[in-house]
Chains A and B, each alone.
Chain A
Amino acid sequence: MNLHEYQARALLKDAGIPVPDGDVAGTPDEAEAIARRIGGGVVVKAQVHTGGRGKAGGVKLAADAAEARTHAEAILGMTIKGLVVEKVLVVPTADIASESYVGVIMDRATQRPVFMVSPAGGVDIEEVAAQTPEKIFKAGVDPRYGLLPHQAMSLAFSLYDDVKLVRQAASIMEKLYVAFRNAGASLAEINPLVTTPDGMVVALDAKIGVDDNELGRRPEIAALRDASSEDPAEVKAREASLSYIKLDGSVGCCVNGAGLAMATMDLVKYYGGEPANFLDIGGSSNPEKVITALEIITSDANVKSILFNIFGGITRCDDVANGIVAATKQTQIHVPIVIRLTGTNEELALDILKQAGFEALTDMDEAVQEAVKLAGAGAGAGTAA
């Protein structure tokens, strides 16, 4: 889960990192009031989960509160890369002497958090890494001890020569690591970290990505989720502990396991079809989950056939079969369903389906070909395969 800039800023501020004054607004009135309180020039920034806000016109400078209001009117409600702007952040314009990058990410290869800093801040860090890799400095963190003060100092010396700035930046990095840990983050970055003409180091923009597996034990972080910035079907899926991503094709896929779900989508493509979605019903699935999965798939008007591909392990095939039967009793499904089931409790599942008038296949290639064929044949062909 990604946090909005204003949420990430608040977490950094709570951790003791200096951030500029400013506040978040949901209406032009609020934006104007914040700008008036700040006084002088401000920046009005769209709060959406995507990069390229500036290029899309979502970040505007205003000389005074009246202009801030005009910009907020334009930005609130605008669409950036398919996402509607619901909130803007209003901050004072800053006098900037230099811009750096400071980030900490969970690194798969070394299996620990890694700090990455660069004196070339304010731009995309991937670009810096590609163009001028010598300007990137890294330090691995042993999670048992945290970022050690000498590591923070050493990283900070790669950003600044003036030891007063170095000490401020080192302190910010130590606090950033604490914020990273306490938020259950997999990424926390300050870009840019700026120095002001009067010698202060300040976090101007922040980005935090939280590991979804942390949300259960961090209700205060989970509460920051902005469901309005996500696809409603994906929100519904998540609430039912399903993993769903909408795509553009016509073969709806309902699979247990992420790897098999991806392989099923790949096979749909292999046989000339296009998958309508990725949907993993997960392990230990109960019939309720299957019902929700079918509701989500059928809410996509592009879906012309539905393919179940279940290989039972921890998922029991009879649970899935019961779910299919219950779901089709509960709601009329107007597209053909192709069911492929094998593995744990397969016999039981086939019996349940048979009694309800469904047939099930056991071969994956055969099932995918059938679903692709039915999707091509068009909608309304009945319910059972």
Chain B
Amino acid sequence: MSIFIDSRTRLVVQGITGRDGSFHTKQMIEYGTQVVAGVTPGKGGLRFEDAVPVFDTVQAAVDETHANTSVIYVPARFAADAVFEAADAGIQLIVCITEGLPVQDMARVMPFLRERGARLIGANCPGAISPGQAKVGIIPGPICREGNIGVVSRSGTLTYEIIHQLSTNGYGQSSCVGIGGDPIIGTNFIDCLSAFEADGDTEAIVMIGEIGGTDEQDAAAYAAEHVTKPIVGFIAGQTAPPGRRMGHAGAIISGSSGTAEEKMAALDAAGIAVMQRPADVVPLLRERM
């Protein structure tokens, strides 16, 4: 088992013919993901790599191929509409890799998705991978291994770093989910903790947070009440100066709320093992499992 994506995932790639879209579609196919369709308006009728049919609209792709999951690589100015389009076509899981979506667009997207019962992962995220089954997004497949650790992270490359530490030390993963670092995101830590808690193949959880907002504190409070599986946590940004934007729009420290120190204390208070550096993940898991 796994969370969100698995061997039954039938993927449509929005923006399949773009630079990033085509590069990562090849990698997803190579990994074994069932990429059943692509969408690029004006390129309907083509076949990507002589194999994947390309459609002009997501609706046409869904009608023809029964895609149940979408991944978005279109440029930022088209990305919010791409999410609307996927949800309108009945897609229930939408993964938006594109970065640079205005937060006001996200505020319009979220109620639209809720009305249609669709889940969005991201935007501005690396996507998800369930090792051995499917990858949706850009997490490098070769660094992952099949196993029973669930990974959830607000970061992209920092996630890879920690997955890499896990895999090279014999800890495979059930699923890894990059939820993105923007102020408004579709899937948060609590959604992932609750999914991992319910997943029979996940035995322990690694959560990777960063400065800004209160998602990690909320997740810690949730975990203390509802999660029985061991959790190991990391917070990036201990050396970040207060009040400065550190790349992610979400990583703004306002006043005392949202500092790495405060978040680490909240994790600790909830019984979560707190890493001081990425390399601590393995010894802490060993201790807790």
Using a Cβ–Cβ cut-off of 8 Å, how many residues does chain B contribute to the interface with A?
Answer: 62
Taking a contact as CB atoms under 8 Å apart, the answer to whether A211 and B102 are in contact is yes
Contacting residues, chain B, for A267 (C-beta < 8 A):
277-278
CA distance in complex: A247, B208 (Å): 24
Are B102's CB and A364's CB within 8 A?
no
Q: Is the CB of B76 within 8 A of A259?
A: no
CA distance A109 to B157 in the complex (A): 25
Residue pair B159, A266 in contact (C-beta under 8 Å): no
A113 at the binding interface (Cβ < 8 Å)? yes
The bracket for how many chain A residues form the interface is: 35 or more
The residue in chain B whose Cβ has the minimal distance to the Cβ of A248 is B241
Tell me which residues across on chain B come within 8 A of A74, comparing CB atoms.
Answer: none
A342 at the interface (CB under 8 A from B): yes
Choose one: B103, B160, B260; the contact of A213 (CB below 8 Å).
B103
Which residues of chain B have C-beta atoms less than 8 A from A144's C-beta? 108, 111
Min CB distance A141 to B, Å, is 9
Q: A255 CA to B156 CA in the complex, in Å?
A: 12
Known A213-B101, A284-B19: A266·B238 in contact at CB below 8 Å? yes
**B255 lies within 8 A of chain A by Cβ:** yes
CA distance A181 to B103 in the complex (A): 11
**In whole Å, how far is A320's beta carbon from the nearest beta carbon of chain B?**
12
Q: Is A111 an interface residue (CB 8 A)?
A: yes
Q: Which of A245-287 contact B (CB under 8 A)?
A: 245, 247, 255-263, 265-270, 275, 278, 280, 282-284
Q: Check if B106 sits within 8 Å of A111, measured CB to CB.
A: yes
A314 cross-chain contacts in B, Cβ below 8 A:
20, 24, 97, 126, 138, 156
* Secondary structure dominating the interface of B: loop
Residues of the A chain whose Cβ atoms lie less than 8 Å from the Cβ of B183: 106, 108, 186
A259, B277: Cβ atoms under 8 Å? Answer: no
The answer to whether B103 and A211 have CB atoms under 8 Å apart is: yes
> Is A112's CB within 8 Å of the partner chain B?
yes
Given A266-B239, A312-B140, A364-B161: A259 touches B153 (CB 8 Å cut-off)? yes
User: CB within 8 A of B211: which of A257, A262, A284, A364?
Assistant: A262
Q: Does A219 contact B (CB under 8 A)?
A: no
Q: B104, B138, B153: which contacts A143 (Cβ < 8 A)?
A: B104
Contacts of B246 in A (CB 8 A): 243, 245, 258, 261-262, 278, 280
Residues of B within 8 A of A247 (CB): 239, 241
Pair B157/A256 contact, Cβ less than 8 Å? yes
Report whether B238 and A259 are in contact in the complex, using a CB–CB cutoff of 8 Å.
no
**What separation, in Å, do the CA atoms of A142 and B111 have in the docked complex?**
9
- Bound state CA distance, A312 and B139, in angstroms? 9
A288 within 8 A of B: no
Within 8 Å by CB of B77, from A113, A217, A259, lies A217
CA distance A278 to B234 in the complex (A): 19
What is the CA–CA distance of A364 and B160 in the complex, to the nearest angstrom? Answer: 12
CA distance A47 to B208 in the complex (A): 40
Q: Is B288 an interface residue (CB 8 A)?
A: no
Contact yes or no, A212 B249, CB < 8 A: yes
Q: Inside 8 A of A64's CB, which chain B residues have their CB? A: none
Distance (whole angstroms) from the CB of B241 to the closest CB of chain A: 7
Contact residues of B between 157 and 187, Cβ < 8 Å to A: 157-161, 164, 181, 183-184
CB interface residues, B 212-257, toward A, < 8 Å: 213-215, 234, 236-241, 244-251, 255
Does the CB pair B155–A257 fall under 8 Å?
yes
B156 lies within 8 A of A257 (CB): yes
Q: Are A364 and B140 in contact (CB under 8 A)?
A: no
Choose among B110, B138, B237 the residue that contacts A313 (Cβ–Cβ < 8 A): B138
If the complex has contacts A184-B104, A212-B249, A364-B278, are A263 and B236 also in contact, measured as CB distance less than 8 A? yes
A contact residues around B245 at 8 Å (CB): 212, 243, 245
- Asked if B143 is at the interface (CB within 8 A of a chain A CB), the reply is yes
Which B94-140 residues have a C-beta within 8 angstroms of A?
Answer: 97, 99-104, 106-108, 110-111, 126, 138-140
Q: In chain A, what residue has the closest Cβ to B184?
A: A111
Give CA–CA (A143, B111) in the complex, Å: 9
Q: A184-B104, A211-B102, A263-B236 are in contact. Are A280 and B160 (CB under 8 A)?
A: no
The answer to whether B126 and A313 touch across the interface, beta carbons within 8 angstroms, is yes
B210 at the interface (CB under 8 A from A): yes
B160 touches A313 (CB 8 A): yes
Known A-B contacts A259-B156, A262-B211, A343-B160; the reply to A112 vs B107 at CB < 8 A is: yes
A112 and chain B: residue at smallest CB distance: B107
Which of A186, A257, A344, A364 is in CB contact (< 8 Å) with B103? A186
Q: Which of A184, A217, A262 has the largest number of chain B CB atoms within 10 A? A: A262
Contacts of A216 in B (CB 8 A): 76-77, 100
Please tell me if the beta carbons of A259 and B249 are within 8 angstroms of each other in the complex.
no
B279: Cβ under 8 A from any A Cβ: yes
B107-A263 in contact (CB<8A) = no
Chain B residues with CB under 8 A of A283:
20, 99, 156
Tell me the chain A residues, 197-247 only, with Cβ under 8 Å from chain B. Answer: 211-214, 216-217, 243, 245, 247
A-B contact pairs, 14 of them (CB 8 A): A108-B214, A111-B110, A211-B103, A243-B245, A245-B244, A258-B251, A259-B181, A260-B156, A261-B247, A266-B236, A268-B239, A282-B99, A283-B20, A311-B160
- Of all A-B residue pairs in the complex, the 4 with the closest CB atoms, nearest first, are A259-B155, A258-B247, A257-B157, A259-B158
Apart from A265-B239, A266-B238, A365-B279: 15 A-B pairs, beta carbons within 8 A: A106-B184, A111-B110, A260-B157, A260-B158, A262-B210, A262-B240, A262-B246, A263-B158, A263-B236, A263-B277, A267-B277, A275-B239, A311-B160, A313-B126, A343-B157
